[in-house]
């Protein structure tokens, strides 16, 4: 599927704190912890627990969330399909949407029981 300007804007304007509890519930049902969820988000964005909590309290949008993020240089290694969209095929002009789908892919892998060292990708040497 192709991302549209409208879809990108819809996701960009969503409030991160309204979605975070859904991420948390999903991974907890599968026996994973809030700390593991936050570790995955920190790997992708660079946000520590305090910053993440501040964004939740401030009710920032996904646009603001990803604009302030220091995206991991290995984020390009996150590939696959999330919600019918192949991550690596999402155009760069839809950066917020792409980063959101990357984060969802990591959370999916966490919920599926994948090992943390495999979720937090590293370049092969």
> pLDDT digit of tens for each residue in the chain (125 aa)?
789 999 999 999 999 999 999 999 999 999 999 999 999 999 999 999 999 999 999 999 999 999 999 999 999 999 999 988 999 999 999 999 999 999 999 999 999 999 999 999 987 76
Report the 10 Å Cβ neighbour count for 5: 10
The CATH number for 53's domain is: 1.10.8.290
Does residue 124 lie in a domain region? no
Tell me if 125 is assigned to some domain. Answer: no
Residue 83 in any domain: the answer is: yes
Q: Which of 96, 95, 14 is nearest to 59 (CA)?
A: 14
54 domain residue, yes or no = yes
Q: What is the dihedral of CA 13, 16, 17, 23, to 10 degrees?
A: 130
Instruction: Read off the DSSP letter of residue 123.
Output: -
Looking at the domain assignment, is residue 23 inside a domain? yes
Sign of CA dihedral 57, 59, 64, 69: positive
Is 109 part of any domain?
yes
Number of domains in the chain: 1
Whether 24 is in a domain gets the answer yes
Tell me how far the alpha carbon of residue 24 is from its chain's centroid.
12
Q: Which domain holds residue 110?
A: 5-119
Q: What is the model's pTM?
A: 0.93
- Residue 61 three-state SS: strand
| C-alpha to C-alpha distance for 41 and 37, rounded to whole angstroms | 6
């Amino acid at each position: 599927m192709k991302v549209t300007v409208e879809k990108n804007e819809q996701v960009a304007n969503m409030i991160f704190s309204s979605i975070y509890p859904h991420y948390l519930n999903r991974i907890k049902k599968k026996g994973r912890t809030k700390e593991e969820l936050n570790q995955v988000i920190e790997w992708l964005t660079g946000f520590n627990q305090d910053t993440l909590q501040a964004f939740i309290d401030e009710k920032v949008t996904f646009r603001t969330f990803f604009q302030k993020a220091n995206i991991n240089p290995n984020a390009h290694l996150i590939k696959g399909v999330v919600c019918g969209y192949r991550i690596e095929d999402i155009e760069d002009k839809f950066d917020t949407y792409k980063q959101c789908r990357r984060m969802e892919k990591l959370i999916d892998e966490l919920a599926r029981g994948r090992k943390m060292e495999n979720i937090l990708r590293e370049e092969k040497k």
